[in-house]
Chains A and B, each alone.
Chain A
Amino acid sequence: MENLSAVIFYSISLLLVAGAFCVIFSKRIMTALFGAFLLFLMFGALYYLLNATFNSALTVLINAVGVMVLFMFLAILMPQKDEKTLWLSFRPGMFVSAIALILFFAAILWALMDNYLERISDVLFSFNALERISNTAYIVGEKLITNYALAFEITGFVITAVVVGAGMIGIFRRNEENR
């Protein structure tokens, strides 16, 4: 059982990293979008592996379906003759940032492994710890309407403001065109 969990985890991880590299390195934008679709599906699978079922469903519905459809329409509506030239910017900053990020990765990894070797608590190392939690969607829903009710309401206002703002940008643009 433990080995099966490890195999599933490593498969999902591999697909996640492959999808992320596909987004960056593929020359055609449609291939990048396909990589992103795979990536967000795998994010959902990883959340499901962590017993976060509600988050998994939300990620698949919002990111893998909604956002991808939006991006696909954007890619179709914008005829990109220079699709291949809009690939990567080979500037010195690209290599400097790559080195900086590798150093950042190594520093955090070193800190994590240092902590790992001390083995603070066995709960953090056991996959079976996850099996004790059941019905996370119920707990999350309960938290949303009790402890986080105010944050939930504010989020609703922010989304409304974004929808109105997006509409206003479109209206201003149309007015400028009419002038």
Chain B
Amino acid sequence: MSIFNEIGMYHYLILALMLFCIGFWGVIVCRNVIRVMICLGIMLNAVAINFITFGVFVDSQNLHGLVFSLFIAIFCAVEIALGAVILVSVYKYKKSCDTQKITDIRG
């Protein structure tokens, strides 16, 4: 039973994988744009878990992974802020935040 008692790098990686898959599925199936943006945040944080895990376990002297995860956190906030502005603009015309109705630039 040591695989469950001894928490190591692989446990974090599997958790990150699960969260990434859940977030990706949420982006595909959710119709509300706010939920889609939260799911994008979940995916980005799942990737950040990978970076931190590798940084801490494999590269513990330099911790490059932690620095990369900082940049991920910053870009996550930037993406959400920009997405919110675009959402407000689109809502003005469409009166809805349904992803199936916002199809104006679809090819």
Q: Could you list which residues of chain A lie within 8 angstroms of chain B, going by C-beta atoms?
A: 2-3, 5-6, 9, 13, 16-17, 20-21, 23-24, 29, 32-33, 36, 39-40, 43, 46-47, 50-52, 54-55, 58-59, 62-63, 66-67, 70-71, 74-75, 78, 80, 82, 86-89, 93-94, 97-98, 101-102, 104-105, 108-109, 112-113, 115-116, 123-127, 129-130, 132-133, 136, 139-140, 143-144, 147-148, 151, 155, 158-159, 162, 165-166, 169-170, 173
B38 and chain A: residue at smallest CB distance: A36
Docked pose: A82 CA to B58 CA in angstroms: 49
Docked pose: A63 CA to B52 CA in angstroms: 17
Q: Could you list which residues of chain B lie within 8 angstroms of chain A, going by C-beta atoms?
A: 3-15, 17-19, 21-26, 28-32, 34-35, 37-39, 41-42, 45, 48-49, 52-53, 55-58, 60, 62-64, 66-67, 69-71, 73-78, 80-82, 84-89, 91-92, 96-100
Q: How far is the CB of B36 from chain A (nearest CB, A)?
A: 10
B78 and chain A: residue at smallest CB distance: A162
Q: Determine whether the beta carbon of B8 is less than 8 Å from that of A88.
A: no
Q: Determine whether the beta carbon of B41 is less than 8 Å from that of A2.
A: no
Q: Determine whether the beta carbon of B100 is less than 8 Å from that of A89.
A: yes
Chain A residues positioned under 8 Å from B29 (CB to CB): 24, 88-89, 94, 97
Q: How far is the CB of A172 from chain B (nearest CB, A)?
A: 9
Chain A residues positioned under 8 Å from B63 (CB to CB): 133, 136, 139-140, 143
Q: Determine whether the beta carbon of B45 is less than 8 Å from that of A140.
A: no
Chain B residues positioned under 8 Å from A140 (CB to CB): 63, 66-67, 70
21 A-B residue pairs with Cβ-Cβ distance under 8 Å, sorted by A, are A2-B7, A5-B7, A6-B6, A13-B15, A17-B22, A20-B26, A24-B39, A32-B32, A50-B52, A70-B84, A89-B31, A93-B28, A94-B29, A105-B17, A113-B10, A133-B63, A147-B67, A155-B75, A162-B78, A165-B82, A170-B89
Q: How far is the CB of A72 from chain B (nearest CB, A)?
A: 10
Chain B residues positioned under 8 Å from A104 (CB to CB): 21
Q: How far is the CB of B23 from chain A (nearest CB, A)?
A: 7
Chain A residues positioned under 8 Å from B28 (CB to CB): 93-94, 97
Chain A residues positioned under 8 Å from B81 (CB to CB): 70, 162, 166
